[in-house]
Amino acid sequence: MRAQHWKAALAIVPGLSVAQENLEDLRQPVGERHAPWAFGISHWFIQDVAQDLRAIMSPAAGGKSDDAYHRLAQQHPYLERVVPAMLDRGILSRAALRITSPITVKSPVLLAALRDFGLGQRGPDAMRSMALQTAVQAG
């Protein structure tokens, strides 16, 4: 979506966070942009999974161990299907990379998703580079 569409969305629904976030992102240099994205993390996961992810990924968690990510992936196997779509859809790539990195070694699907994201044109350059580094380290 272009900036004009997000501005029109804000005119219709003032305070619409996804529109505001996309407009802020569009002000970044091209190599640092995530936008456009239309869905927040709550649209991708049921409430319990979203809460578990936030708990694992929060700064207060102090970088929980890979075991926490592995347990989450085992409890919710559909993450293997959702994360590649998240990587392809913008701002959520930050969360998707945090989820994917620790569990990639166990999942050829996620390893391929990291490779594809890293070689693609969506997301910030630094994030795509990180994805490729993770994929290479995982083999």
Domains of the chain: which residue ranges? 1-36, 44-138
pTM assigned to the model:
0.68
Query: What is the pLDDT confidence band of residue 100, given thresholds at 50, 70 and 90?
Result: low
Spatial distance between the Cα atoms of 88 and 84, rounded to a whole number of angstroms: 6
- Give the long-range contacts of residues 37-46, CB within 8 A, separation 24 or more: 37/89, 37/90, 37/91, 37/92, 38/1, 38/89, 39/89, 39/92, 41/92, 41/95, 44/82, 44/85, 44/86, 44/92, 45/82
**What pLDDT digit, counting tens, does each position of 16-43 carry?**
888 888 898 888 888 888 767 777 666 7
For tokens 């569409």, what's the residue? 5
Spatial distance between the Cα atoms of 130 and 105, rounded to a whole number of angstroms: 15
Residue 11 has pLDDT above 80, yes or no: yes
